[in-house]
Structure 1
Amino acid sequence: MSSRLFSYATLSVVLLFLLGPFVIIVAAALSAGETLAFPPQGLSLKWVIKVFEVESFRASFALSMFLAIFGTLAALVLGVPVAYAASRYKLPFGETIRTIVSAPIIVPGIIVGLALLRYLVLPLDVSVGLALFIAHTALILPYAVRVVSASLDNLRSDIEEAAVLLGSSRIATFFRIVLPNIQNGILAAFILGFVTSFNQVPVSLFLSGPGVRTLPIDMIWYMEITYDPSVAALAALLAFLSISIVFLAERFLGFSRYV
């Protein structure tokens, strides 16, 4: 009995630790007061409505969506062939290649952002938008490779060999047999990359510029000049968006099988 109570108490503490900040943010977002505070001063949806009226939020949201969608697609275009080669062939220096591909995950984001700023943006005069796109693609690439590799490991290679023996070329086999069988893994990689890119802060902090800010960076900038609950409302909306995406991915794709 005591062990069961201990388990329930531990679970309650963990849930409080994980969900407590989220509950506070949602409560602050629904506050009727004029400043960000908890507990809320009454209840109102006016700050949720204001989120959609702030022009900078709309512009930064559009940029974050562009980077998340097209950066993830670019990472998949690069990552799927890498994952296939690593899964099906014995590559020379294979472990070194895997380490290099995983570097954006291993290295802290602040270092990645500073390195790109110092050795890409400044010396080559690369635009802020292009630098952000390159950075987000590089950050998502390791996730794309790992998730697609997990999907390929579950696909029997003898199916491909049978198609080749029956006269299909390697390229045709890849597009007609391999891709349809790993499409759930690719979708899972897309969702993981999308969420990772959309919520990215350290790299975007170094590469943002005047009028070119991702939504998380714009939220930080907004809080420096205004302390109303609209930032809490936006944070709550983004949290609900991320949770909904992951929930649907788990419900229809079995997201946890790949990550």
Structure 2
Amino acid sequence: MNRTLSFSILTALIVFLIGPFLIIVAASLSAGDTLAFPPQGLSLRWIVKVFTVESFRDSFIMSMILAVGGTFVALLLGVPAAYALSRYKLPFGEAVSTVVTLPIIVPGIIVGLALLRYLVVPFSFSIGVALFLAHTALVLPYTVRVVSSSFNNLRSDMEEAAVLLGATRLGAFFMVVLPNIRAGILAAFILGFVTSFNQVPVSLFLSGPGVRTLPIDMLSYMETTYDPSVAALSALLALMSIGIVFLAERFLGFSRYV
């Protein structure tokens, strides 16, 4: 493969990946009253309008609660699970690892329908509780996989040395193991946060009157209004996600864990 062809393929790939985002950014700066590309002049009024729509503010707060709270609970469950899977030869350990990663493998629509049918309906959970449980379950596989990578890269003899020096097993975990995998835990939190915040299929099944995540609220908004404010909000969210991932890669070496 010659250099020209390689460069052409790389350029086409970049355009394919970045092109939709650039179109959304351009549409969000349109001065027109309808969503269109190319933009009808340039204006910041739709970006300003995003902050004045009450439903966007409420759903943004809901998405933040679900993303932060769900990821935090997933870490509380995922860190011990990752430790057990990486440090001990558990019975059916491979099967457990497969089950834990199922929410990643199974399409989100199927997961959302299953949670609605077998969790929400039989137990009559409220919409908020159902969404919280669903987002926690979706983020859990990411936390287990990322933190497991950190445990696998950490020498086990460091923990054993702490135990030989008089620390309890639990004390060695908190004083030696956790400080050495904090970058992996933070990387898992960031990945889980972005995944939860941008989640659509599962939230679509579990949202209800007055309780909706921001992506679902954006879909509902587009059913009745076709102005560029949704494009403006999409651009802002994309920039937020890119910024979070960029900072994680810059300071944590994000690619080492995912």
TM-score range, shorter chain: over 0.9
What is aligned with 1:32? Answer: 31
What is aligned with 1:124? Answer: 123
What is aligned with 2:163? Answer: 164
Matches within 5 A, 1:1-259: 3-259=2-258
Amino acid at match of 1:139: L
2:93 & 2:56 partners in 1: Cα distance? Answer: 43
Amino acid at match of 1:236: A
| Structure 1 residue 39: Cα displacement | 0.4
Query: Which is further off, 183-192 or 162-171?
Result: 162-171
Query: Which is further off, 65-74 or 116-125?
Result: 116-125
Amino acid at match of 1:202: P
TM-score by length of 2: 0.99
* Equivalent residue pairs, number: 258
Amino acid at match of 1:220: L
| Structure 1 residue 107: Cα displacement | 1.1
TM-score by length of 1: 0.99
Q: Deviations over 1:154-209 (max 9, x none)?
A: 10001111111111110000000000000000000000000000000000000000
| Structure 1 residue 140: Cα displacement | 0.4
* 3-state DSSP of counterpart to 1:38: coil
* 3-state DSSP of counterpart to 2:125: coil
* 3-state DSSP of counterpart to 2:2: helix
Amino acid at match of 1:206: F
Q: Deviations over 1:65-102 (max 9, x none)?
A: 00000100000000000000011111001011101111
2:102 & 2:11 partners in 1: Cα distance? Answer: 36
1:56 & 1:81 partners in 2: Cα distance? Answer: 38
Q: Deviations over 1:211-247 (max 9, x none)?
A: 1100000000000000000000000000000000000
* 3-state DSSP of counterpart to 1:40: coil
2:78 & 2:122 partners in 1: Cα distance? Answer: 28
Query: Which is further off, 159-168 or 64-73?
Result: 159-168
| Structure 1 residue 7: Cα displacement | 1.0
1:97 & 1:109 partners in 2: Cα distance? Answer: 20
Gaps of 5+ in 2: none
Kindly, what percent of the aligned residue pairs are identical?
74
1:120 & 1:202 partners in 2: Cα distance? Answer: 16
* 3-state DSSP of counterpart to 2:101: helix
1:108 & 1:13 partners in 2: Cα distance? Answer: 28
| Structure 1 residue 123: Cα displacement | 1.6
* 3-state DSSP of counterpart to 2:39: coil
Gaps of 5+ in 1: none
